[in-house]
Structure formats: structure tokens, C-alpha cells
Chains A and B, each alone.
Chain A
Amino acid sequence: MLAHIFRRIVATIPVMAIVALFVFSLLYIAPGDPAAVIAGEQASPEDVEKIRKGLGLDRPFVSRFGEWSWHILQADLGTSMFTGLPVTQLIVQRLEPTLSLMVVTLILSITIAVPMGVIAAWKAGTWVDRGLMAFAVLGFSVPVFVVGYVLAYVFALELDWFPVQGYTPLSAGFWPWLENLVLPAIALGCVYIALIARITRASMLEVLQQDYIRTARSKGMGQSGILFVHALKNAAVPIVTVIGIGVALLIGGAVVTESVFAIPGLGRLTIDAIVRRDYPVIQGIVLLFSLVYVLVNLAVDVIYTLLDPRIRY
């Protein structure tokens, strides 16, 4: 068990190394001259040269990559080309809102999607099932910012139940913090809920056909006990997998959701960096989010072994 977890942790190192190498190489393999693109149309040749120096593009690839990786290992993600501040500092400043949004979305999505999938599987073939699955297809198809605007328009502008925009730090109290995050979390969670609900239904349908479910039923166990104790536990592995994979959707969606709801998080930092073509900042954000994604999926792998003792490596 511990050996397995250790092996999995070690296995993430090459993946992260490749992510870093790839993100770094983009500067070199991008078509045209990145320094000229970043400088913009009106830049003088001196400006372009300054940016080239700043990015280290005037030096050989290998030595530059070595130096860059060494800094990264010390949590030094470079310096923002626009503000001149360390990228790590910029990211840490913006971390809380994004992290809050993602955690709230994750909890909300799982608590909605799993029962949804379970009920759809239980009522398979009926209009309840069809309705829930139609909702899931819709959830896949309506882009996150569209959901965001609709929710904000209806529940914030018209009904005035929630604040339209903004973010309140957790230090200002739990309820004010949560109040600001409800609408963004629902908007961001839509795709995620659809994804988890579909897999939950599919996985449950398979489990519900097993003999031990019939046994449980024949010994007089109640429906909810069968569904949530016997069946869901056995159906959990694919569900947990999708929860892990879906975090990539959450990360991408968070950038947009923050922009719709004016949340000053990493998404805002990303958008500002795009407008200013501040590549070191973008690089840092991409690396951080990839690391989060890899770590989440590492956690998923560990949860497998806890959920299903049959899984041994």
C-alpha cells in the first residue's frame, strides 16, 4: 500500500518534467519571432531586443532550460515582464479566490451530480431518467460563461438573491464568502455535474445488474440502502476517475467564470497577462494548474486502493 503510493508519487515526476519542458519549449517552437509578437506592432527593434534578452531567447536552449528548471524547483517562476514583480508572488496573491471557487464548485458538483446519476440509474428508462440525462447533455453544450450570464441575470439582477459580482475573502466571514461564490460555482459546475452524473448513471446501471444486489433486495434491504450503500460503493471507481479528470474542465472554466463574475483570482491574472502578452506569468499559471491537475489525479489513484481492495499493483 505505502509502496504503491510512493511509486505513484515518483511516477508524477517525469510527467511534470515533460510539462515543464513542453511549456518552456513553446517559446522556441512558436512560429515566427515570439519576442516580436510579445512586443507588439508598434515596438522598436530595441524593445524587441530587450524582450528577447528578458526571455533569455538570446541564449542557447539547454543552458537556459537548465537554469529555468533550477529556479522552478525553488518555487521561483520568473519575473513578470509587465509589472516587474516575481510571478510566484503574483500567483500567491491571487490564489485564494480561485481556490475557493474551485473547492466550492467541487463540493457542490459532487453533492448534486452523484445523487442525480444514482436516481437516473434507479429510474432507468423512465421520464425521470430521460429528463436528468437531457439536462446532462445540455450541461455539456452550454458554455460556462453563458450559464454564468443567465444565472447572474436571473438570480442577481432580477431576483436579487445573490450579489451580481465580486468576491469577499474568507477572513470576512463564511456566509459573505459563500454568498459570492454560489452563482459562479453553479455556472462553473454545470459541465462537471453533467459529466459526473452521466458516469455515475452508467456505472450504477452495471452494478445494479449484479447478483449481490438481488441478494440484498431479497433479504429485505431498503431501496436507498441498496442504492447508496451496496451499489454506489461498488460503482465508485469510474466516478472517482471522472471527478479527477474533470478537474481539467474546472481549471479551464474557472478562468472564464472569474471574468464573468469579476472575481479577482488567477483567471483575472491570466486574462491580464494575455492582454499584456506577459508570457512568464502565463507560463507560471500553466505550470501551477498542471501541477494541481497531476496531484488531484494522484490523489484519485490513492483513493482507488482505499475504495476497492481488489486493486493491487
Chain B
Amino acid sequence: MLGSAVPVPADVAVEPAMPDVLPPIKVRRGLAGFVYRHPTIAFGAALLIAMLSIAVLAPYLGTVDPTALSPAKRTRAPSAEFWFGTDMFGRDVYSRVMYGARVSLTVGFSVAILASLAGLAVGLISGFVRWADGIIMRIMDGMMSIPPILLAVALMALTRASVTNVVTAITIAEFPRVARLVRGVVLSLREQPYVDAAVAAGTRGPMIILRHILPNTLAPMTVQATYICASAMIVEAILSFIGAGTPPSVPSWGNIMAEGRALWQVKPFIVFFPAVFLSLTVLAVNLLGDGLRDMLDPRMAKRL
């Protein structure tokens, strides 16, 4: 009131305006800005989208039936007609590799989603239900003591080969890690004053989970999910490669390599092409994961 009412006398020094020494901050907005700030995410996402497009558009990419046999044209080297050559049954490796993207990506994404959901459920129960915590975590410790590939192998030995069973087996092998992560987050959040406040205010358990716990688990879980996706694609390929994965009738990258294995010293291209595509896809997901981790958790970004 007073300050504004009294007029400033003309002879009183007024604080000069800040000299304009700092260069103007260049604000990059929109997609270009995002790419500039997070090059790893952008590169990973672009590569992943390319692979997804291959999976979705496989029938329209100049492919032929990936299971069509033509014994007369077996083990041809890459040429204009067969871009990636043909395998020992005369099947077109290019078509098989394009269709193979479907299996790898389906397995990767399904396992990432299912393992996250299962891990979230078990982690929440373990974090909130005190008496169950000890038992659940011991079981998770036990499951985590079995190397994931061997656990998946044991499961696949008891079930028929199918993509669904591969997804189930890898999910069972991977979800305990998510459960442990979620439980850790829940335990640290339970001690937060705002959770105490919510409890004191009479907020019901499910509402606390929905409002306070879930939003805080989302970031670490997203990062974890990308790593699970990458690992699931590798495990699927390994399982198929050693004959415990998707049935041989399905062209998956692991299967193509398994079939090319016998000939790899003389016809290395049969193994080479699926290997390159698998590596690029896993690289894309890993880069996405690294980028997301840096973006969602700057403290971790500094450390790793």
C-alpha cells in the first residue's frame, strides 16, 4: 500500500536494468527439440519403429511365402532374386527374416507387459501385506536363483512348443525381478509423510495405491520393462536356437539361425541376416531403455 503510494523522487538512484550479457537461451521445441535433448531415445525409437514396420508390413515388402519349399533352389547365395539367399530347403531367407520380426517383437512386448503386470501385482502384495512379504520374497529369491534361460528351458521341456508357451516361460523367468523392484519402491514410499497423511485422512488402501504408489512405480517399471523386452527377445532366440523355443514351422530369427547352423561354415549368410536383424532390434530396445532411464531418473543418469 505505502510503497506504491509514495512516488519515487527524481534524484533517487533506480537500480539499473540487468545488462544483457547472457546469450539468449535457444529453446528447442517440438520433435526436433526432443531429438536434440534425447538422442538415444530418438535413435532407439526410430530403429524400433522401423523394425515394427517390417513386422507389420512383412507381406508387402516384396516377400514370398516364408515357408514355401523349393528343393531345386536350395542354399543359393544372395542375389537379385533372393536378396538374402535361400536356406537348405530352398526357402527365401529374406522373406523368413522379415516375417521373423513378428515373432521376436511379439515375444519381446508380450513378455515385457505380462512380466510387468505380474511383478506389479506380486510386488504390491509383498509391500503391503506384512505377513506375506517374507514368504513371497523367499519364493522370488528362489526363482531368481535359477538362471532365466535354464528356467525357461525347464518349462519348455514340459510343454508343447508354441509362441504362447515361450512367452509364458520367459515371463515366469523374468517377473520376480519386477516384483522385487516394486516391493522396494512400495516399502520406501510407505514411510513418506504424504502417505501417512493420506492414511490419517482416512483414504482407503486401493486409493492410496492408485494415487501415490502407482505413479511412483511407473518410471522405474517402464525402464525395467524395456530391459525385460530386450532380454526376452534374446532368450526367445536362444531357446529357438537350441531347439526349445518356437516350433520349427514358425519362421523366427532363432529358428532361422538354428537351421543355418549346420551350414554356417560354407553358407554363413543364412545365419548372418537374422543375426543382424535380431542384434539391431535388441540394440534399439536397449538404447530406448538407457535413454528413458536418463530422462526419467536424472540422478541415475549421472551415475551410469
Q: List 5 A-B contacts (CB under 8 A).
A: A18-B143, A26-B158, A143-B275, A143-B278, A255-B150
A286 / chain B contacts, CB cutoff of 8 Å? 146, 150-151, 153-154
In contact, A26 and B155 (Cβ under 8 angstroms): yes
Contact B303–A252 (Cβ < 8 Å): no
Per-residue CB contact flags for chain B residues 224-246 toward chain A (1 = under 8 Å, else 0) read 00000010001101100111100
Complex interface: stretch among A30-38, A65-73, A89-97: A30-38
Chain A 287-313 near chain B by CB (<8 Å), digits 1 or 0: 001100110000000000000000000
CB distance from A186 to the nearest CB of B (A): 16
| CB contact list, B8-61 vs A, under 8 A | none
* A interface SS class: helix
Give CA–CA (A77, B244) in the complex, Å. 22
Is there a chain A Cβ closer than 8 Å to B271's Cβ? yes
CB distance from A68 to the nearest CB of B (A): 15
With known contacts A137-B286, A164-B265, A26–B238 Cβ distance under 8 A: no
List A residues 269-287 near B (Cβ within 8 Å).
270-271, 273-275, 277, 279, 282-283, 285-286
CB of B159 within 8 A of CB of A32, answer yes
- Interface size in chain A (residues, C-beta < 8 A): 59
Query: Does A47 have its Cβ within 8 Å of any Cβ on chain B?
Result: no
Indicate if the CB atoms of A270 and B138 lie closer than 8 Å: no
In contact, A18 and B159 (Cβ under 8 angstroms): no
Asked whether any CB of chain B lies closer than 8 Å to the CB of A27, the reply is yes
Asked if B153 and A15 make an inter-chain contact with CB atoms under 8 angstroms apart, the answer reads no
Please, which residue of chain A has its CB at the minimum distance from the CB of B260? A149
Query: How many residues of chain B have a CB within 8 Å of chain A?
Result: 47
Tell yes or no: B157 within 8 A of A by CB. yes
Residues of B within 8 A of A290 (CB): 145-147, 150
Is A141 an interface position by the 8 A CB rule?
yes
Given contacts A22-B146, A251-B147, A274-B243, contact A143 B158 (CB under 8 A): no
- Interface contacts (Cβ under 8 Å), in number, total 150
In the bound complex, how far is the Cα of B242 from the Cα of A270, in angstroms?
9
Nearest 7 A-B pairs (CB), nearest first?
A: A18-B142, A252-B149, A141-B283, A30-B158, A146-B275, A248-B147, A251-B147
List, in ascending order, chain A residues with CB within 8 A of B238's CB. 143-145, 252, 255-256
Question: In the docked arrangement, what's the CA distance between A300 and B145, Å?
Answer: 14
| Known contacts A205-B303, A255-B242, A274-B243; is-contact A37 B230 (Cβ 8 Å) | no
Given A252-B238, A271-B243, 10 additional A-B pairs, CB 8 A: A19-B142, A37-B160, A142-B279, A146-B275, A153-B268, A252-B147, A270-B150, A275-B243, A282-B154, A286-B154
On chain B, the residues within 8 Å of A259 by CB distance are 241-242, 261
A34 CA / B155 CA spacing, docked (Å): 10
Closest A residue to B282 by beta carbon equals: A141
Our pick among B150, B244, B304 for the contact of A251 (Cβ within 8 Å) is B150
A149/B275 in contact, CB under 8 A: yes
Closest-by-CB residue of B relative to A164 is B265
Q: Min CB distance, A282 to chain B, in Å?
A: 5
Query: What distance in Å separates the Cβ of B292 from its nearest Cβ neighbour in chain A?
Result: 14
Residue B297 CB within 8 A of the other chain:
no
Name B303's contact: one of A140, A141, A206 (CB within 8 Å): A206
CB under 8 Å from chain A, chain B span 273-302: 275, 278-279, 282-283, 286-287, 290, 302
Are the C-beta atoms of A293 and B257 separated by less than 8 Å? no
A48 at the interface (CB under 8 A from B): no
B243 CB, nearest partner CB in chain A, Å: 6
Decide yes or no whether B139 CB sits under 8 A from chain A.
Answer: yes
B264, CB-defined interface residue at 8 Å: yes
CB-CB under 8 A from B230, the residues of chain A are 140-141
A216 within 8 A of B: no
CA of A184 to CA of B128 in the docked complex: distance in angstroms? Answer: 46
- The residue in A22, A37, A205 that gathers the most chain B C-beta atoms within 10 A of its C-beta is A22
A192-207 vs B, Cβ < 8 Å mask (1 yes, 0 no)? 0000001001100110
| Contact with A283, one of B148, B154, B268 (Cβ below 8 angstroms) | B154
* Separation of A202 and B265 alpha carbons in the complex (Å): 40
B242 with A30: CB separation less than 8 A: no
Closest-by-CB residue of A relative to B244 is: A274
Which residues of chain A are near B139, meaning CB under 8 Å? Answer: 18, 22
- The reply to whether the CB of B196 lies closer than 8 angstroms to some CB of chain A is no
CB distance from B98 to the nearest CB of A (A): 18
Taking a contact as CB atoms under 8 Å apart, the answer to whether A202 and B158 are in contact is: no
